[in-house]
Every structure is written in C-alpha cells, then in structure tokens.
Structure 1
Amino acid sequence: MTPQRSNARASLIALSLAALLASPVHAAPQTYLGVDISYANEMEDCGAVYRAGGKTVEPYAFFKSAGANVARIRIWNDPDWTPYSNLKDVKRSIAKARKAGLQVLLDFHYSDDWADGDKQIAPRAWARLSTPDQAKALYAFTRNTLAELDREGLMPDLVQVGNETNGEIVSSLAKAKEPINWDRNALLFNAGIKAVRDAGAASAIKPRIMLHIAQPENVEPWFAAAEKAGVTDFDLIGISYYSKWSKRSMAQLGQTINRLRHLYSADVLVVETAYPFTNDGADSSPNLLGADSLIAGYPATPAGQKKYLTDLTQLVYANGGVGVVYWEPAWLSTKCKTRWGQGSNWENAALFDFKGQALEGVDWLKAPYVMPMDVTFRVVAHGEAARFIDGDFLGGVGPRPMTLENGAWTYRTRLMPGASVTAATATDPATVGDAQAEAAIVGKGATVIPLK
C-alpha cells in the first residue's frame, strides 16, 4: 500500500468523525476471563484451605464471584499414576464449576500424563496401533467422554483438541524432536474435531473447539501448516504465554494475536499464563517460575502480579483477542507429595499466598478494560468480481478479501476507539499496494469507514 500522505486524500478525511457513521455492525464476541483449576480437587483433598476477606471460600465459587466466567479443566486418558484428572475427577470438577455458574473448557491431553509443547506421548493403549486405528481411538475416546458427560448434564461449553500441541500428537519422546508428519497429524486432529462436532450435534450444548499452541512464536507457523494440511474446523486459537519460555515480548504477543484474528475466522485468547507474586517458596520443591520469569516493570510482588495480568489482558483485548485464562491459581503447598517432591512447584505463582489468603492479583478479573469497537470498512460496488483491503490495522498479513453485502464491499473487524487507521482497496490483491490509501479515526462506538 502506498500511503502518499502528502495527498489530501491520504490525510485524515475531511469528513472526519462525521463520516464515521455509528452503526450496529455485529455482536461483540464472547470474552473469556478464567482460571485453570485442575489441581483444586487434589489440593482440597490434601488439606489446602482457601480464604478471602477473612472467610474460607470454595475455589470455584470464589473465582466466579471475583469475575471469572470460565473454568479450564484437563483430562488424561488413563492416568494410573494419579487419581486426578481422569473422567471421574473431571466430573467432580465440572459439577463444581456448573454449580458456581462458570462455563467449562475441557482440555484433552490425549496422553496418560502431561502433554505439552515439549512432548505428546501416546496413551499406552494407543501406542502400538496404526495411525488410522489411533485416529479411530482418539475419535471414540473424545466422543464417548463427551457423551457420558452430556448424559450427566456436564457437557463442556468449550473443548480443546489437544494441549500445547506444538509437536506431532499421540507420539513419543523420540519423535518430539522430529518435524511433524502433517498427513498423520491432520488425520488425528480431524478425528478429534469431528468427535466434538458429532457429540455436540447430539447435545443441547454445542462445544466450541479450541486448538492450542505454546508460546506465540510457534503459533503462526503451526496454523499455516495445519491449514495447508486440511485442519480448518476450529472456533478458537489458544496460546500459552510464559515469558520464561518465550522469545516474544508482551508487545509482540499482541502483534501475533492481531495477525491471527485477521488470518483465521477464529477467536484468539491467551489460554495459559501466570506470574510470580514472590521469589520465595513455602516448601523445598523448586519454583518453576523464578527470577528468570520476570519482566521489567513487573516485580515479583502481589502488586506486580496484578499489574502483569491487568496489562496483559488489556493488551489481548486491544489486539482483538477475547480473553485470558490463568494457570494454575489454586496449586498451593500442602503436605502431599508430587513426583517432584513434597508441596508445590507453583505456590509462588498461585493467586493465594502461602497461608491460602487470596491475593490482589485476583482483582485482575474485574479491572475496567477498554474494549475495541466494531468497525466496518465499506466500498460501493461497481460490478467488480472481487475486492481486497490492506491497511496498517492488519499487522502485515497482507491483503484480505472483502465481502459483498447490499451493494457494497465490506470488511469487518474490531479496533480500539480513537485509533488512527489507514487503508486501501483494489480488485486484485497484487495491486492493493499501488492503490490510494485513506485515513480515518475509529469512533467511540460501532463505526463505518467509507473508502473509495
């Protein structure tokens, strides 16, 4: 796109705000602010006590009252090493979430143990199956799990088909270091996606589907490869963001979110993040998030933790994302042992202090965020077969196709009120860069920006 700012047409249009016609464009997307509290049942069984305002609180109900609207809950296939995060435990968790009035995001790991950005180990029962049979097993496990939950009134509102699936799913430690075989990976993903859709078709609740990648630098290449391989039926893109393990700054995370939401017809959110409120520990189990996790301007204090969460959430919203989920605010230090030692590796990054008292970081859920406005770019149609738009608001993704509606080519998005935007259109994506650019300012409400 050629700005040509010296040209009158490239300056802020003389129409200015008068030309930015307030108009109901479309409903704002569902936003999600919540917590992954998959450890809560185990912690309470281990004697953890959660407190707020001098009173003992039930964690699900507490986070709902604090402003959360979604609880994220993990499920493993056959975790014989723990009685938690199996189907029985998940039912217990979803029942608590529903009683508290929270939506539920069910996170399938497709493993008997942790699946994450470094490993995707196949469940033992699937390890020796052929890829087609693994796909059938993955479909059956997903659909049967959801069907059983639905029969008991526990169907989740959202479902993750895999957790931090940076590498090839249903795999091994050895293959985690190899490039993804996308023919195989797509077959498995599409089996899981179809299972969720089929289970939803038989239920009053139609779960939205999320695909989830760890760290923003990995997200765009992964989704480009997934789309090329035919993995396209999803509703949300989930990103894990931990500064300790990411090469991207918070600002770069925001830029990634902005590009993704223009490239895919999916909502984008940070579905995992956390920040320490102290560098101290309550036990001998080493803290996973230590001084190496800190970002300048955000000290390891309760106030620093709250500032990080509030600033991150505003950044997500400002870039068109739809929310943030905290991992794992309820994993306190208790008398119980884990495979890593007695206590918790996360007690310094929970949202409760070492005595179980809620921290000020919880207030992040009710902060007064400034939300983006609906914006429609519109060009009167003159019989052309197609039209494309490019502009600074797209974050560099390149020309995007416009949609013909009632005699005008339109492109809908959401931008921050008061933002200055520059855009140009053409009938061929190759010539948008040579088209005359026009500038405008986003209004305080739904805005229509006419272009030529």
Structure 2
Amino acid sequence: MKLGKLLAAFIGAALLCSTQASIAAPVKGADVSWTSEIEANGYSYYNRSGVKKDILAIMKEQGMTAVRLRVWVNPADGWYSGTQDVVAKAKRVKAAGMKLMVDFHYSDSWADPGQQTKPTAWSGYTFQQLMDAVWNSTRFTLQAIKDAGVTVDWVQVGNETNNGMLWNDGKASTSMQNYAWLTNTGYNAVKSIYASAKVVVHLANCHDNANFRWIFDGLKNNGAKFDIIGASSYPTNASGYTWQNANIACLNNLNDMVSRYGVPVMISEIGVPWDHAQAKTIVADMITKLGQVSGGKGAAIFYWEPEARPGWKGYTLGAMDNNGKATAVWDAFK
C-alpha cells in the first residue's frame, strides 16, 4: 500500500514537472521604432556597464529576444515608421536572430485611445474603399518585409483601439460591426502573406476590464478574428491606482480575457518613468504576473521605446539616462 502511494506520488510529481516544463515563459522584448531616427540624430547607446553597443545587442544582453516596430501609412517626414524604414529595421532584427512584431497604426501618425485619425490619403474613402486600403496597405508592408527575407511572428491590426480605429467609420461606439470588418480585413491580409503569424488586437489600459470586455465581446459578436489579445500597461499612469494595484488589475483582466475568449494574451507595451526609484521592481512584477496567466497563456511583453533618452520627443518613460546609458529597469528582463 505504501509502495503504491509512493508510486502515485512520484507519477503525479513527474506529470506536474512535465506540465510546468511545457509551458513556455513569456517572450521578452521592446518596441524600438525610434531607433533609426535617434541614430540619425547622432545619439549612441550604452549598456549597463557603460559600453557603447547597438541597441539590439543591448536588448539581447538583457534577456530580450523580440522587437516590435510600428508602421504609419504616410508619415509626415516621409520616412520614419514608413514601410521602407520598417523594412530596414526588420532586416537588423533578422540579423540579430530576434523575433519580430509589426504594429499597424493605420494612420499617418500616432493612433491611440484619444485619436484614430485616418491617413490623409484615405480621408475621403467610402467604407468599402477603406477596407480595400487596409487590405492593400497591410499586404504591401508585409510583402516588403517578406521580400527582404524576414519572418514576422506577430502582427497588430490597429494600435490601442479602445474605441475602434479609422474614425469615424471604424469607431466602435458608432459601429462595432464596421470595426469588426476592418479588423477582419487586416487579419485576412496578414494571413495572406504570413500564414503562421499571430494577429493581435491591442487595447490600452490593461487595468480596465470593462473596456476590454466591451471591445472583445463586440468583436466576437460581429464575427471578428484575432489570435492574441494585446494590452498596454503603464502602471504609474493608471489613474486612481497604485502601481501595485494596477499590476494586479492587469493580471486579473488578462486571466479574464483568456477565460472569456480562449486566446493567449500579451503586454504589447509597458513603460515607467526613466528615473523612478522602483522602475525595475514595477516591470519585474509585471513580468512575473504575466508568467502567472492561467494556462501559461501570457505570450510576450514589450517595453515601449527603452532606447529613448529622457525627454526625447517629450517621452520620459524610456530606459536610458541623460548620457544614453541603460538604466536599472533593463535588469528586470534578465
């Protein structure tokens, strides 16, 4: 009897270890879309030891294996975050042996919860023409990346689409169906170029479960397709929350997304003030929590623009000091 109990305990422990081993740890990376522009302005990057290195080399030193790059349709300067700039950076990602996420804003500039402005060239389009433009633009950029010999692992169709995208036609509060159709157009365009790439629908404010449920219930009810749910998490900026409670609320929301929609989740963006005394702790806590998502479905986490020095284009949540040296927050990813 004792032998039987011991054998059962041994088998149970072995199965537990096997299950734990089969659950992959979240992929860690960063959105470094500003890299080409920062470099063109003469700035360099220095690792934690103060050694001058390429930004991707610093990322790899710190345990990151993936890069996220945004795409704008017709950027005002004609280059940065446009297709050719993205292709050039994607080739660097491939040369570094890293994974790649492509983030379509479907705008000429920033798309976020407060603005989802159509590209100027699309402003007079009918809704059918708008869907055609999403299809063609998505395929054009991805085909250019593919022609450069680069594999894309994830693609976002829209950026922080808490109330849809391509306003007003694709505004979710006006027409959830239109938003779902635009999402499906992007989804199908991605799969036509990279059949195995995972398509991400990305919302801001990971702590806001009500908004996530509203959007993803609406998408599901209107037949939209997505492979992963992405979230932005800026814990120190979450209104009414301590960073600790923001991280807890984010984890609870991610678990709800997994349970409700049956897909993996990721943190598409995270950032904290560059000089915050607890920056490393805050990010490390979120990485730990992502690893605790039910079923091992916490897919990846990306720091947003860590290569930016304080105040670059008004951004102060990067991970470099005023001399371009990597701050302690990088150590959260090791």
Query: Scaled by the length of structure 1, what TM-score is found?
Result: 0.65
Amino acid at match of 1:193: Y
2:222 aligns with 229
Partner residue, 1:182: 176
Instruction: Give the Cα separation in 2 of the matches to 1:18 and 1:264.
Output: 35
Mapping 1:61-76, distance limit 5 Å? 61-76=57-72
CA shift digits 1:83-129 (9 cap, x unpaired): 20001110111111111121110000001111111111111222211
Report whether the alignment pairs 1:111 with 2:107: yes
Q: Which residue in the other structure is 2:290 paired with? A: 316
TM-superposed deviation, 1:138? 0.6
The aligned residue for residue 254 of structure 2 is 257
Task: State the match for 2:263 in structure 1.
Answer: 266
Aligned length: 313
Provide the residue aligned with 2:203 in structure 1: 213
DSSP 3-state at the match of 2:156: strand
Superposed counterparts of 1:318-337, under 5 Å: 318-320=292-294, 321-332=298-309
How does 1:89-238 map onto structure 2 within 5 Å?
A: 89-172=85-168, 179-201=173-195, 206-216=196-206, 217=208, 218-231=211-224, 233-238=225-230
Q: Could you state the TM-score of these two structures normalised by the residue count of structure 2?
A: 0.87
Give per-residue Cα distances to partners, 1:363-383, cap 9 Å, x unaligned.
1111xxxxxxxxxxxxxxxxx
User: Which amino acid letter does the alignment assign opposite residue 213 of structure 2?
Assistant: E
| Amino acid corresponding to residue 90 of structure 1 in structure 2 | V
Q: Residues 246 and 132 (structure 1 numbering): CA distance in 2 closer, same or farther, change over 3 Å?
A: farther
The question of whether the paired residues in 2 share the 8 Å contact of 1:35 and 1:72 is answered with yes
**Which one has a larger percent strand, Structure 1 or Structure 2?**
1
Residue 82 of structure 1 and its aligned partner are, at CA, apart by: 5.0
Is the Cα–Cα contact under 8 Å of residues 122 and 171 in structure 1 kept in the other structure? yes
Q: Which residue of 1 aligns with 2:3?
A: none
Q: Which residue of 1 aligns with 2:232?
A: 240
Does the residue aligned with 2:194 lie in a helix, a strand or coil?
Answer: helix
Match of 1:386 in 2: none
Distance of 2:92 and 2:82 partners within structure 1: 16
Residues 332, 344 of structure 1: 8 Å contact kept: no
Assess if the C-alpha contact under 8 Å between 2:135 and 2:186 holds in 1: yes
* Structure 1 residue 361, shift from structure 2 partner: 1.3
Alpha-carbon offset, residue 49 of structure 1: 1.4
SS state at 2:331 partner: helix
* Aligned sequence identity (%): 28
1:306-359 per-residue CA deviation (whole Å, 9 max, x = no partner) reads: 1111111111211332332111101225xxxxxxxx84322x422111111111
How many angstroms apart in 1 are the aligned matches of 2:94 and 2:279? 28
| Match in the other structure for 2:272 | 275
Q: Pick the structure with more helix per residue.
A: 2
AA at the equivalent of 1:106: V
Contact 1:72/1:107, CA 8 A, preserved across alignment: yes
Question: Which residue number corresponds to residue 404 of structure 1?
Answer: none
Q: Is the 8 A contact 2:91 2:148 kept in 1?
A: no
Indicate the RMSD between aligned Cα atoms, in angstroms. 2.3
Distance (whole Å) between structure 2 residues aligned to residue 98 and residue 60 of structure 1 = 11
When Rg is computed on C-alpha atoms for both structures, the one with the higher figure is: 1
Report if the CA contact (8 A) 2:190-2:199 is conserved: yes
Distance in 2 of aligned mates of 1:135 and 1:47: 40
CA-to-aligned-CA distance 1:263-308 (integer Å, 9 cap, x gap)? 2232111111111132xxxxxxxxxxxxxxxxxxxxx22xx11111
SS at match of 2:117: coil
Q: What pairs with 1:302-313 in structure 2 (closer than 5 Å)?
A: 304-313=278-287
Gaps of 5+ in 2: 1-7
How do residues 385-400 of structure 1 correspond to structure 2 at under 5 angstroms?
A: none
Aligned equivalents of 2:259, 2:26: Cα separation in 1 = 17
Say yes or no: does 1:42 pair with 2:37: yes
The residue aligned with 2:50 is 54
Q: Residues 185 and 44 from structure 1, CA distance in 2 versus in 1: closer, same or farther, beyond 3 angstroms?
A: same
